Structure 1
């Protein structure tokens, strides 16, 4: 159903022809790939639970005279029927769900007007994809039927599990890999390489989780079994021995459950946090429309701006003009030396410099600052500490704090901090540019002039706009066309907010939909696992009851065993999510989107919700497990 929804949204004509259609389609492809992978894994995982019983039935029929080919055809017809029912019900459900999904997508995407449509291309594509999956599943079953003897086929669902060969080396390796992933998550600093560290940490945690659940826990249980005082107690004997064999058969399933729930927490936290942070983006832009140009605008160009505003029924405020350097990431040493950021280290701890003269400052906000000949002024955003001295052109200046300044850049708490540097003379500005432009390897022997630094200085023209949002966006697009040939850029608050809402709104949509898919998949995996294990354990508990185990003791042991089984994924879920927090925080800081007032409450809320869902699943499946065992 969800795959068909992603395909339908991706192929939707009203989305494809919209301004942000390509972005939404790209985001939907991401969700589509994830949902297809989850769907494929679940199909084969669910089939593994019924495969043994099906093979036993085929074996019984074969002993009564049915050939192996006829048995294979029975499986093929069953698969064909399942494929047909799954495809029809899934497509019908997805079409109905689209009428709920599209209003949500329109709202998240900033009030768009996308319309529901379901094309035949979606029907054919989804049908063929699932036909391929069911065909592959049928071929695997046919291979098993062809290679297995009739006697073994009749006992396919009665195979006794063998004790796992849990090697100490692999178990310890699993713990080491898992700890390495956690350590990387804790120690990664905000930088341009943070995303790669995140990917490495995720990979290590996945590998470590599987090794710990499959090998490490088995090795630990063997150590407990060797402790006779612990092992030969009523409350420990059956749970430990049962779990020892269960980890062998279902260790991968338990690890998958833990990782799926962790993915749900991370996906929802990231998606909702991004949406909440970006929804406040417009609040931190100081002006509605800003024109940035490498050259000062002529009077004719300024008149064009006014004329375009009138054509769109807009009223502009007086122009606020600022001549300053481009935004430059630069570090300041303890001695006050300024050096350009080289790409290593904590990028979010590195301030962004904009330098200007006192004359430009007065033109920008109508008031200037009085500076002595040995002083420079700095206004710092985000309450960042101002250095006490700066070296510019080899000369050391005292720093005077500027308390009032209208920032031309976004002051979002999740964004970078700015240092707005004010100097008295144009020559000081030139020296500053040389300091940050000259490579660190230059010992001063190379002479650098402003002409060698293209686009070093920029001119900003900011306006407040009165009018409708639609007209303002159209106005900004016209200005972009006007200044495109001269290299000018136009930033408009309404247009920026709409584009950001569209991108991140669609990401939230995909994140929530993917989380729903993962949740249902996890619930079904846990349910099928408990049902299959209940059928196997029923015979084992019946045998123990014949030699004196009471029903009360049976129930007590079942509860203890289920708590152990459910406790392992829950423990890993909490650990993985807890260690995911610092590296998610690092990635969000690198992207300039970390807001602790949003991120922390969202993650805690998602954790609580997922744990509650997990406990409900535990309660429901444990009831079903006990019903099967006690039949």
Structure 2
């Protein structure tokens, strides 16, 4: 067996391919629900944008809540609306600079640049108090901040081209859940008492700088869940809500009304499992093909080498080697070399693990424990199959070489 390194290398490559494919696609599929909930923390979330910042009033916010309540027949739960502005930029010592590249900043961005990127979420202090039941107060030009990276240590927070905000403290928590699309980078949630004015400053600066308002858009955001409602019904409700909002606000003369973002659990779930279910199926099919190829290589390699070694074992039997000694020699030889490809495949899987983990993160699954468990489980399952093939081929090899004594 030691003479045929090419065969062992082929087995090692096939085993590595099986382990990588099954562990990665299995993690994608079975980690789908958690990934979806990180991507869509609510059954439906959307942000609505109007043409005039002055139109962001509590009346408009309550209109949206009324539409949701009417279209779902009161089946919505945890419904809340709030004013919000999102913008990405490069952060350095309390200064956030919105850049033309901001719209393309995501998990695929260069690592060094990604460390400097912050995602600003500007909210109204009155909304924060309303949603959390607190009674905090600030003067215009002051702010409270919550971050994903610990305590904010600067005394001020400035969006380049806008007023400097004096930081008066930290928010204990935030009244909404962040989605995974918000958190590839550091997030700064900034609450201000004069949200309309400050969001207008940021939008005006971004529009002047980039000639495109869609880089920093103020909006009314709405989120809610629909427990006990089937995914198909959720999808129908969501379509009705979107169409009713468009129809109502355009009727009122808002020609620019649109949706900044729509995050639908039911729609994303269908797309998610269609895509990743197909990848998992493809991974299983290709793994079966590669496993069959590895088994055939192993089996016929053993047979061919058995016939090569038959005469040698025949000579040893004639000089007094017993069948038990032959069996021990066969097991020792086969066991040592036969399991080398499996051992090396495990090493290859370990070295490939960081790359697989990064690819899965790009695809939306950020579940390291699940990937580790899937890799270990796949290795153990493949190891059991490998042992079965080993026992079968070892018996065939022993049967061939033990007949050498009769020649």
Alpha-carbon shift at residue 432 of structure 1 (Å)? 5.7
Structure 2 equivalent of residue 443 of structure 1: none
C-alpha separation in 2, matches of 1:409 and 1:269: 28
What CA deviation, in whole Å up to 9, does each residue of 1:403-458 have, x standing for no partner?
132225326999666331223445554666688x59xxxxxxxxx46975335223
Q: Where do 1:450-461 residues align within 5 Å?
A: 452-454=212-214, 456-457=216-217, 458-461=219-222
Q: Secondary structure at the match of 1:326?
A: strand
Matched, 1:558 2:330: yes
Structure 2 equivalent of residue 541 of structure 1: 313
Structure 1 equivalent of residue 192 of structure 2: 423
Alpha-carbon shift at residue 258 of structure 1 (Å)? 1.2
What CA deviation, in whole Å up to 9, does each residue of 1:380-405 have, x standing for no partner?
34xx3233115415647447221132
Q: Is the 8 A contact 1:433 1:456 kept in 2?
A: yes
Q: Secondary structure at the match of 1:315?
A: coil
Structure 2 equivalent of residue 257 of structure 1: 11
Matched, 1:477 2:239: yes
Count of matched residue positions in the alignment of Structure 1 and Structure 2: 371
Matched, 1:508 2:274: no
Q: 1:531 aligns with which of 300, 303, 315?
A: 303
C-alpha separation in 2, matches of 1:577 and 1:522: 17
Structure 1 unaligned residues grouped into runs of 5+: 1-241, 439-447
Q: TM-score, normalised by structure 1?
A: 0.50
Q: Is the 8 A contact 2:152 2:170 kept in 1?
A: no
Matched, 1:588 2:356: no
C-alpha separation in 1, matches of 2:312 and 2:183: 58
Q: TM-score, normalised by structure 2?
A: 0.74
What CA deviation, in whole Å up to 9, does each residue of 1:67-109 have, x standing for no partner?
xxxxxxxxxxxxxxxxxxxxxxxxxxxxxxxxxxxxxxxxxxx
Matched, 1:521 2:290: no
Change (3 A) 1:305 1:355: closer
Change (3 A) 1:621 1:452: closer
Q: Is the 8 A contact 2:309 2:401 kept in 1?
A: yes
Alpha-carbon shift at residue 570 of structure 1 (Å)? 2.0
Alpha-carbon shift at residue 528 of structure 1 (Å)? 2.0
C-alpha separation in 2, matches of 1:398 and 1:609: 55
Structure 2 unaligned residues grouped into runs of 5+: 248-256
C-alpha separation in 2, matches of 1:413 and 1:392: 20
Q: 2:153 aligns with which of 362, 369, 388?
A: 388
C-alpha separation in 2, matches of 1:554 and 1:358: 83
Q: Where do 1:60-459 residues align within 5 Å?
A: 243=2, 245-247=3-5, 251=6, 253-281=7-35, 283-284=37-38, 285-295=40-50, 310=70, 313=73, 315-316=75-76, 320-326=80-86, 328=88, 330-333=89-92, 335-339=93-97, 343-345=109-111, 351-362=118-129, 367=134, 369-371=136-138, 375-381=142-148, 384-389=149-154, 390-393=156-159, 395=164, 397-398=166-167, 400-407=169-176, 409-410=178-179, 418-426=187-195, 428-429=198-199, 448=208, 452-454=212-214, 456-457=216-217, 458-459=219-220
For the aligned residues, what is the CA RMSD?
Answer: 4.0
Change (3 A) 1:611 1:316: closer
Structure 2 equivalent of residue 52 of structure 1: none
Change (3 A) 1:273 1:413: farther
Q: Secondary structure at the match of 1:603?
A: helix
C-alpha separation in 1, matches of 2:300 and 2:35: 45
C-alpha separation in 1, matches of 2:138 and 2:311: 89
Change (3 A) 1:517 1:422: same
Alpha-carbon shift at residue 282 of structure 1 (Å)? 5.5
Structure 1 equivalent of residue 229 of structure 2: 468
Change (3 A) 1:267 1:393: closer
Matched, 1:617 2:386: no
What CA deviation, in whole Å up to 9, does each residue of 1:269-294 have, x standing for no partner?
21222223221245554533222222
Q: Secondary structure at the match of 2:188?
A: strand
Q: Is the 8 A contact 2:140 2:194 kept in 1?
A: no
Change (3 A) 1:373 1:513: same
What CA deviation, in whole Å up to 9, does each residue of 1:14-52 have, x standing for no partner?
xxxxxxxxxxxxxxxxxxxxxxxxxxxxxxxxxxxxxxx
Of structures 1 and 2, the one with the larger relative CO (CA 8 A, separation 6+) is: 2
Structure 2 equivalent of residue 567 of structure 1: 339
C-alpha separation in 1, matches of 2:378 and 2:384: 10
Structure 2 equivalent of residue 91 of structure 1: none
C-alpha separation in 2, matches of 1:558 and 1:317: 68
